[in-house]
Amino acid sequence: MENNIISNMERYAKYLRKSRKDMEAEAHGAGETLKKHEIILDNLSNSLGIKREQIDVFREVVSGDSIASRPVMQQLLELVEQGVYKGVFVVEVERLARGNTLDQGTVANAFQYSNTKIITPIKIYDPSNEYDQEYFEFGLFMSRREYKTINRRLQNGRAVNANLGKFPGSRPPYGYKRKKIENDKGWTLEIIPEQAEVIKSIYDMYAYHNMRPSDICRYLDSLHIMPLKSNSWSANSIRDILSNPVYIGKIRWKDRKVVKIFKDGKIINTQPKNKGNDVILANGLHTPIIDEKTFEIVQQKKKDNNTAPIPGIYNIQNPLAGLVRCAKCGRIMFRISPTILACTNTKCDNVSSKIEIVEKKILESLKTWLKDYQEEINSIDLLQSNINDIIIMKKASMEKITKDLNECNTKLEKIYDFLEKGIYSVDIFEERKNKKLKEQKQLSSQYIECEKELEEIERTEKAKKDLIPKAKNVLEEYEKCTDMKQRNDLLKSIILKVEYLKKQKCYTKNSNPEDFELLIYPKF
């Protein structure tokens, strides 16, 4: 390796990240990974004549597959983009990015445009050198493939362990701690006596003393009993405990899969309830805390309580019940007197209004929206007789593009394989790779264009057939209806929620009682 970094004034960074593979090795007694890597990089920097005071150290101990879950990496990239460092020391390029193509592109661009070198024990990557840049991108590509393979193996192993009654998770539920299984691989759960007593009390209060989750929260807080990760209990955490079969000796797995969604320009992880048939529920190896009879009583009570949020002996007097949410704190607003709608959060200063005024403004907004939407739909000049033919053609085009994209991706992978095996020279690899990437980009653009056109056609047709007639019917029926429950049902059939915000109170006669903001979320 050439010593092409000579300066006593330049700044460098040292990035140390522990991977999942390192954590597994440490669990088997392989020693502390970051310390080993730091020694390797220290020896490397010394051999290049770079002093320790020239180097800033960045340590990351999270094993996230995306930059979004690695705050230290985000900090380093920000400094790299600003051109602060001449080079970054890392044991291997794979430590920088194992995320998706977007993450890999972010890392590659940061180093390329700031002309920051990547210094590894094997090679120094110079972003101004096109061959180094190619090798660097290829290294990131291969690391992503390796990550997917490891992750798939890990998830399959967890599913197998769950079916065998072992605990596959990393964080045990309240009432238990993880325990290594003797003479076998994997983990089980061991009861924590003082926490188990709290679990028993929670089930007892809900099943036999008719206490609600919110009442149980207040009771536990009054005794200064703290949950695992907070200073106070929440109703949701109590509900989770009351529905978790781990407390009757079961292992439940895949009930909440991690689903990535794109929101506000960022990829975030969500964990919605899994309604598929791949949820695992097996008899666990651990000792239960709750008997099955009590657990069944609790599940039946939860089911009964969920079916009727408002007891049948009471009649709804608020046509906006369950629809209007406070724009400041997000809570549902309630009728606190025969005429007033208010946020009941004592820490929130959102000003209340009369129900009839809010109701009136919602109806006016819906009528305005309906009128504008009808005009927009009518302005679209599509011949009805040709619509079905257009839809069929668009779908056929998308299928053909998808097939071509799959073939393109397969050929692209072969091109990388041929480079790795030495079949292609770097020049041939670059030429053929760029050709396929250009083809891939064109196909993707064509697919997106077809998809948008198809969505617009289908949306327009659905609006003509379903949405506009439904909204018009709701508004007509609403004017005739006097029953508040029926009015509430009509609004809920077309409105998901309404956010309400009012900043000023009406102190004088000249004050405008309609001086508030509404944000309506329709169901279509």
Mean pLDDT by 10 residues, the chain (524 residues): 48 83 48 79 90 89 69 89 92 73 75 89 82 70 63 75 86 92 89 94 89 88 86 88 93 69 52 64 92 92 64 66 90 86 82 93 90 70 59 85 87 83 84 86 85 77 70 88 90 90 80 88 77
Q: Under a CB-based contact definition with an 8 Å cutoff, are residues 326 and 333 in contact?
A: yes
Which two structure tokens, joined as six digits, stand for 401? 């593009």
What pLDDT was estimated at residue 106?
80
Return the residue matching tokens 């909204």: 471
What pLDDT was estimated at residue 310?
45
Which two structure tokens, joined as six digits, stand for 435? 């050709």
What pLDDT was estimated at residue 450?
85
As a whole number of angstroms, the distance between CA 437 and CA 421 comes to 21
Return the residue matching tokens 């666990």: 284
What pLDDT was estimated at residue 222?
84
Q: Work out the end-to-end distance of the chain between its first and last CA atoms, rounded to an integer number of angstroms.
A: 62
Q: Which are the contacts of 42, defined by CB distance < 8 A and separation ≥ 6?
A: 52
As a whole number of angstroms, the distance between CA 177 and CA 189 comes to 6
Q: Helix count (H) and strand count (E) of the chain? A: 14, 17
Cα of 457 vs its chain's centroid, Å? 30
Q: Under a CB-based contact definition with an 8 Å cutoff, are residues 85 and 12 in contact?
A: yes
Which two structure tokens, joined as six digits, stand for 293? 């009879």
Is residue 270 within a helix (H) or strand (E), and if so which, with residue range? strand 266-270
Mapping DSSP to helix (H, G, I), strand (E, B) and coil, where does residue 221 land?
helix
Which two structure tokens, joined as six digits, stand for 493? 């059939």
What pLDDT was estimated at residue 441?
84
Q: DSSP H helical segments within 48-174, as ranges?
A: 71-81, 101-114, 130-163
Q: Under a CB-based contact definition with an 8 Å cutoff, are residues 117 and 110 in contact?
A: no
Rg (CA), the chain: 30
Residue among 498, 466, 489 nearest 360 (CA)? 498
SS3 content of the chain, % helix, strand, coil (to 5): 50, 15, 35
At position 74, the amino acid (one-letter code) is Q
Model confidence pTM above 0.75: no
As a whole number of angstroms, the distance between CA 511 and CA 505 comes to 8
Residue among 265, 20, 31 nearest 152 (CA)? 20
Phi, psi of 118 (to 5 degrees): -110, 115
Q: SS in 3 state form for 20-39?
A: HHHHHHHHCCCCCHHHHHHH
Mapping DSSP to helix (H, G, I), strand (E, B) and coil, where does residue 88 land?
strand
As a whole number of angstroms, the distance between CA 415 and CA 260 comes to 30
Evaluate whether the domain defined by 176-307 bears CATH number 3.90.1750.20: yes
Q: Under a CB-based contact definition with an 8 Å cutoff, are residues 172 and 189 in contact?
A: yes
Return the residue matching tokens 């004088």: 508
As a whole number of angstroms, the distance between CA 258 and CA 274 comes to 10
**250-253 and 259-263 strand pairing:** unpaired
Q: Under a CB-based contact definition with an 8 Å cutoff, are residues 442 and 463 in contact?
A: no
Which two structure tokens, joined as six digits, stand for 240? 């989770």
DSSP state of 497: E
Evaluate whether the domain defined by 12-160 bears CATH number 3.40.50.1390: yes
Angle at 489 between CA 484 and CA 490, to 5 degrees: 95
Other beta carbons within 10 Å of 111: 24
